[in-house]
């Protein structure tokens, strides 16, 4: 008798399913079972925010959420921010153009956090508001200014 459960969810707009043990994290399920390796795992205890994904449009720490908790929900990973033809989405392009990528480890979580922020603040808000919005994602390079510039550019503001 298997202790794995069927997990059905919408990932990046597509129906997906797999089997997961009840204590398997969403991060591991996305990376290992659905082969969506853009979700990065670092501290594995929710501190760094590098595993952030969107669940029903809200940022969550995928290392703290079980895959079974996402059953029936919509999950967006960094792969889902690209255009349907595979080219970079506006926010991804802004990070590229404004050097917001740096080493790249925090970039997927930063992009998803910024996406949620820009959904609520399409004009970009102030630099202080942007910094507050991304404060839950630790950048190992400490290069937050380029990230703020990138988010501002994606909102249409000058960098």
pLDDT in the model for residue 82: 95
DSSP 70-127: GTTSEEE-GGGGS-TTSSPPHHHHHHHHTT--TTSSSHHHHHHHHHHHHHH-TT---H
Look up the CATH number of domain 5-81: 3.10.20.30
**Regarding the domain delimited by 90-154, which CATH topology (the fold level of the hierarchy) does it fall under?**
DNA polymerase; domain 1 (1.10.150)
> pLDDT truncated to tens, each residue of the chain (159 aa)?
469 999 999 999 999 999 999 999 999 999 999 999 999 999 999 999 999 999 999 999 999 999 999 999 999 999 999 999 999 999 999 999 999 988 999 999 999 999 999 999 999 999 999 999 999 999 988 779 999 999 999 997 543
Is the torsion defined by CA of 105, 109, 114, 115 positive or negative? positive
Domain with CATH 1.10.150.120 in the chain: 90-154
pLDDT in the model for residue 1: 47
Is the pTM above the cut of 0.85?
Answer: yes
pLDDT in the model for residue 143: 76
Domain with CATH 3.10.20.30 in the chain: 5-81
């Amino acid at each position: 008798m298997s202790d794995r459960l069927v997990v059905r969810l919408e990932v990046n707009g597509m129906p997906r399913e797999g089997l997961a043990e009840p204590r398997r994290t969403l991060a591991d399920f996305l990376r290992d079972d659905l082969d969506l390796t853009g979700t990065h795992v670092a501290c594995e205890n929710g501190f760094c925010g590098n595993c952030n994904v969107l669940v029903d449009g809200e940022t969550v720490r995928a290392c703290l959420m079980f895959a079974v908790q996402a059953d029936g929900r919509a999950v967006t990973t960094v792969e889902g921010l690209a255009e349907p033809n595979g080219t970079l989405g506006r926010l991804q392009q802004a990070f590229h153009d404004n050097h917001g990528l740096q080493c790249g480890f925090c970039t997927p979580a930063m992009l998803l956090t910024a996406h949620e922020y820009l959904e609520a603040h399409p004009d970009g808000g102030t630099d202080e508001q942007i910094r507050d919005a991304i404060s839950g994602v630790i950048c190992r390079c400490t290069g937050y200014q380029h990230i703020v510039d990138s988010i501002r550019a994606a909102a249409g503001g000058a960098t």
